[in-house]
Structure 1
């Protein structure tokens, strides 16, 4: 019986063939911490009596949630990670001098590589599966175990094969594909499963779209999301100084899947996830008909803060103005993206339209700072979660959408079809 790509990655690391359901101990290629979760890991590391990291060059701390610090508490929280990084002379420590949202920054730096096993104390670590790696979120104490031993325990997940068919229509992106899948299977439809994304649609998706697709695998309860390496992946990697030699794994034709889901992308319109679950997806045409005024538009996050998102938004708002009663916040995912967007004129276009552009941060997405919603306010966001109180007041509402729809909505002052705005 054949193996899935996820089973092959684990087999390669363990040194023998493994199958879904097995519990294994596996060496880690990269451990990722951030300024919120890493202090707990550091405490557990110290309480264990450990003095040094098992694999210091395979551990990265990215200060991305509350940096620059918003208050004394967040400053003190950040200090714990900084002190630890300096104490251990950490090679991969990314603070204000080299800012970025972790799941955009590490691929940009070549620190996550095809064939890797990656863990992070952040649920959206599954983003890195877009590079043909196994990547999953774990708890802070699990992270500490990895810091101490260089390995961790896993139950090899069963796989769900998702087949996307057809070429996406205009203004339909990776974000819409994953929102449609979650709408179909629910927020627990892939619980502790690997979501393996396949089909001829994949060849039409940029790496930015693929990162968005894998990023939200966790919103269906998945252990990981993964896409096999192809020429588009290799093109993305070719200018990177990769931390390791990449390994390309592909599922066998007779690999075993617990479920297969097929989605006709050719007939899919942009999907809007209504409050208060990512699975509450509606077609854009219904959202437009519902005439939903928005107080705030947010474009950014580890899901949709990449260069293509800023390009899409800038194209739509160029020569126009954000609606009088609407705020527009744009957060580039890394400083490199910010600089490139500035060079290409996207930043000027967005600011001229009335947007405010912030430093790279997760702040608005998790309701931390840089875009908190007040009582009863409605926001359309390119983020990954629209839970009650996710971006601020518990009575606020979050609608998830792609960057084109978000930008069009900023101009219209209500959820809008970009074809009617551009």
Structure 2
């Protein structure tokens, strides 16, 4: 409906900047024109390393009027998965666990930041991805790629059997380096799963968190990451 969404709450406050970026990115799929998360100390720390000059935060007026206010209790929310072929076809991971996969993709603009790569590395450390599964890791930027190398995450993922490709869109939009063939099924931390998005229109794409993607690559089927950590 092309309106702006503003996020508040303890869950948002506890999120990293990277996680807030993911929520903002995905808000477009809710029909939003823009997504706003009020800046806080985490925001300022992030910007100090990247912005020269004065930082002028913008907040909503205390008496601001909103068209609608929605409150959600996510205390007991289990990991979620967006099933083919739309991003709003969302189910708890428990309802889709056990579905076999051919490919697991971690990265792109939505979930290719350093903390996402770290999560996958911790899950896969000392393990190997399942036979018959391709795992592709796409760092979101050159800076993130270099930091992941320095911290040993890339080495861990390579030893686990993953393939690391250059920062960019890659297989997310069906460009290259991981395009799905007819009948194949992928779980990915990218942001869209429309029919034909990552290759063949006869392929299936499931969207999930980096942790769920890594756990699924480990077992060769969609897996709740809480079962492997």
Sort the TM-score into its range (normalised by shorter chain).
over 0.9
- Name the structure 2 match of 1:282: 91
- Name the structure 2 match of 1:226: 36
Aligned pair 1:196/2:6, yes or no? Answer: yes
**Structure 2 Cα separation of the partners of residues 274 and 237 of structure 1:** 35
Higher RCO (CA-CA < 8 Å; seq separation 6+):
2
- TM superposition score normalised by structure 1: 0.53
In 2 relative to 1, CA 250–241 (structure 1 residues): closer, same or farther, beyond 3 Å? closer
SS at match of 2:42: helix
SS at match of 1:311: helix
Choose the corresponding residue for 2:194, options 377, 387, 393.
387
1:361 Cα offset (Å): 1.1
Aligned pair 1:375/2:182, yes or no? Answer: yes
Choose the corresponding residue for 2:140, options 333, 338, 344.
333
- Name the structure 1 match of 2:211: 404
Aligned pair 1:421/2:228, yes or no? Answer: yes
Aligned pair 1:255/2:61, yes or no? Answer: no
**Structure 2 Cα separation of the partners of residues 231 and 345 of structure 1:** 28
The answer to which structure has the higher strand fraction is: 1
Report the structure number with the largest CA radius of gyration.
1
**Structure 1 Cα separation of the partners of residues 74 and 228 of structure 2:** 23
Choose the corresponding residue for 1:238, options 45, 48, 52.
48
**Structure 1 Cα separation of the partners of residues 28 and 48 of structure 2:** 28
**Structure 2 Cα separation of the partners of residues 311 and 284 of structure 1:** 21
Deviations 1:64-95 (A, max 9, x none): xxxxxxxxxxxxxxxxxxxxxxxxxxxxxxxx
SS at match of 2:211: helix
Deviations 1:8-55 (A, max 9, x none): xxxxxxxxxxxxxxxxxxxxxxxxxxxxxxxxxxxxxxxxxxxxxxxx
1:240 Cα offset (Å): 2.0
Deviations 1:271-310 (A, max 9, x none): 100011110110111121xx20000000011100000000
Deviations 1:292-331 (A, max 9, x none): 0000000011100000000000000001111001100001
1:255 Cα offset (Å): 1.1
Write out aligned runs for 1:127-276 (5 A). Answer: 191-242=1-52, 245-276=54-85
**Structure 2 Cα separation of the partners of residues 352 and 333 of structure 1:** 21
**Structure 2 Cα separation of the partners of residues 200 and 321 of structure 1:** 36
What residue ranges of structure 1 are gaps of 5+ in the alignment? 1-190
CA contact (8 A) 2:138 2:170 kept: no
**Structure 2 Cα separation of the partners of residues 239 and 254 of structure 1:** 33
Choose the corresponding residue for 1:312, options 119, 128, 144.
119
- Name the structure 1 match of 2:168: 361
Count of residues in Structure 1 that have an aligned counterpart in Structure 2: 229
1:254 Cα offset (Å): 2.2
**Structure 1 Cα separation of the partners of residues 72 and 88 of structure 2:** 15
